[in-house]
A and B are shown apart, each in its own frame.
Chain A
Amino acid sequence: MTEPAGGIELRLQWRRRNFTLDVAVSLPAQGVAVVFGPSGSGKSSLLRAIAGLEPAARGVLRIGGETWQDAQVCLPPHRRRVGVVFQHAALLPHLSVLDNLRYGWRRAGAPADAMREWIDKLALGPLLARSPATLSGGERQRVALGRALVCQPRWLLLDEPLSALDAERRAEILPYLEAVKREARIPLLYVTHAVEEAARLADHLVLLDAGRVRVAGPALEVLNRSDLPLALREDAASVIEASVLGHDEHGLLRLDTPVGTLHAHGPAHPVGTRIRLRVAARDVSVALSAHADTSVLNIVPAVLQSLAPLPSGQFQLQLLAGGACLLARVSHQSVLRLQLREGLAVWAQIKSVALLV
């Protein structure tokens, strides 16, 4: 199936009693666009409006030359080639897993290959005869994912698919989401309020606040901006793309990053694997000279670009290290003692690096 190239044009307005959604953004035709925002920011409303589930929403919605909504047209949900994974899976409770998969597949007239492909990739084979009531939360989401994908949608929308799961189940389903991201060949819209999920999955990031787009752009760019509320959070972090150089017998990975070579503990990956790293601002400190007598493994040269006071009394530093940005958090006292100022050359000491895999 060939689709005309072109991105997604999205301009939707929706007024309710005490809430207005007013979103205008264009999204790439590929990859994962994460819509990130606090609860009540209108993330889920936006997703429902895209799917056609909020008939009161007005505006324009075009995807790769297909018009789902404009001034003349407003396709009902069953006529939009959309796949939706709801927060609580929303499987049809009276049908088996297989019949849930078949429900949309048959109506969409999708080929048998699509069914085989996703049963296989999402490891749904052993679940097919089961009833939804007997599945675990993680299994339910996997079935919901498969059910949406076997219809061969033009766009896959996921509404906080991990938020109802505990950490263990989340870790169980994330690899499947990665597989979908890699192999679905369609754009994904992923709604979440979890910064970890955004950092791990996003290619493109849309920050939503009170029903409006605060900022939208390539994920790494948006994630590393220090002028957004994201950077002021307790768990502020910078996200860096890396490729695996190798690992030693103690489980220490060597990673090539724009910041320089970094070391991190984690599972072994083949050389050349591209992964994302998350460096929490509170795990980065600065020194005026490179210390050799420290337990910190990752020390890279950097230039202090900006420093801003935080409500907590600490300072947040933005460092340019090689080709990437790092955030660091230091005390007021340290700023005075080291006479930190913009343009100063420093050494960034990175205490820990989290692999987003």
Chain B
Amino acid sequence: MTTLLAAILVTLKLAGLTTLILLLLGMPLAWWLARTGSRWRMPVGALVALPMVLPPTVLGFYLLLGMGPDGPLGQLTTALGLGTLAFTFPGLLLASVLYSLPFVVHPLQSGFAAIDAVVLDAAATLRASPFDRFVSVVLPLSKPALLTATLFGFAHTVGEFGVVLMVGGNIDGQTRVLSVLLYDQVEAMAYADAHRLAAGLLAFSFGMLLVMQWLGRRTALVHD
């Protein structure tokens, strides 16, 4: 397998799994943030948004310490017989989930907040249980928000670099993703390869945004 193909597969696997985990975790979290009156809402909201402003290397540094043999997470995984997570794919996955969290939670949160509470009350008086209401009312009404969250989560994970370098390292076929490969190619002055890869990532990002714009326009039309 060529280095490029391996990096593409690792990147797709990482972005796909990260997005899937984030949707599962992000939905209840975003629902809570959108609806709760709890005094914990603001601190939790700030914590979720932190990766947006934090230098990725800072997040990576703390994760590296935490996952190391002396870190709390490292001790836990060692006790469970899993060894340490640093420089492994699961470690990289954990870092990606944290790093891309706000990019999934925020669109979901604004989508959920836009749902009229009285519509959910009406569904409740029509015999729908809380879970039933989530599936039959909240999810269909949040379709645009779900799509945005999925695309953002995926694209943002593909684009990460600092966290990957700190936590995942650069192991061919395991933790080397496209953005790191590009860095390697530039380091090795393989500019022709770097051009190909950079142009590919540019086209991918542009395509993602184009799809998002198109979806946004379509939902706007539907709502008219």
Contacts and interface: CB of A to CB of B under 8 A. Distances in A.
Given A78-B128, A78-B129, A92 B123 contact: yes
B118 interface: yes
Contacts of B47: none
Given A86-B118, A90-B116, A107 B126 contact: yes
Nearest to A110: B127
Q: Is the interface of B mostly helix, strand, loop or mixed?
A: helix
B125 interface: yes
B194 to A, nearest CB: 47
B137 to A, nearest CB: 6
Given A104-B127, A107-B127, A86 B121 contact: yes
B127 A90 contact: no
Contacts of A148: 125-126
A174 B49 CA distance: 51
A104 B136 CA distance: 12
A240 to B, nearest CB: 36
Contacts of B124: 51-53, 76-78
A90 B126 CA distance: 12
Contacts of A53: 121, 124-125
Given A78-B127, A103-B126, A90 B137 contact: no
A78 B130 CA distance: 9
Given A86-B118, A86-B121, A88-B118, A94 B141 contact: yes
B37 to A, nearest CB: 12
Interface string B92-135: 00000000000000000000000010110111111111101000
B81 interface: no
Nearest to B121: A53
Interface of B: 116, 118-119, 121-130, 132, 136-137, 140-141
28 contacts: A51-B125, A52-B124, A53-B121, A78-B127, A78-B128, A79-B127, A82-B125, A84-B121, A84-B122, A86-B118, A86-B121, A88-B118, A90-B116, A90-B119, A90-B122, A92-B119, A92-B123, A92-B137, A93-B119, A93-B141, A94-B137, A94-B140, A94-B141, A104-B125, A104-B128, A107-B132, A108-B127, A148-B125
Given A53-B124, A92-B122, 11 more contacts: A51-B121, A76-B129, A78-B127, A78-B129, A80-B125, A83-B125, A92-B123, A93-B119, A94-B140, A103-B123, A147-B126
Interface of A: 48, 51-53, 76-80, 82-84, 86, 88, 90-94, 103-104, 107-108, 144, 147-148, 151
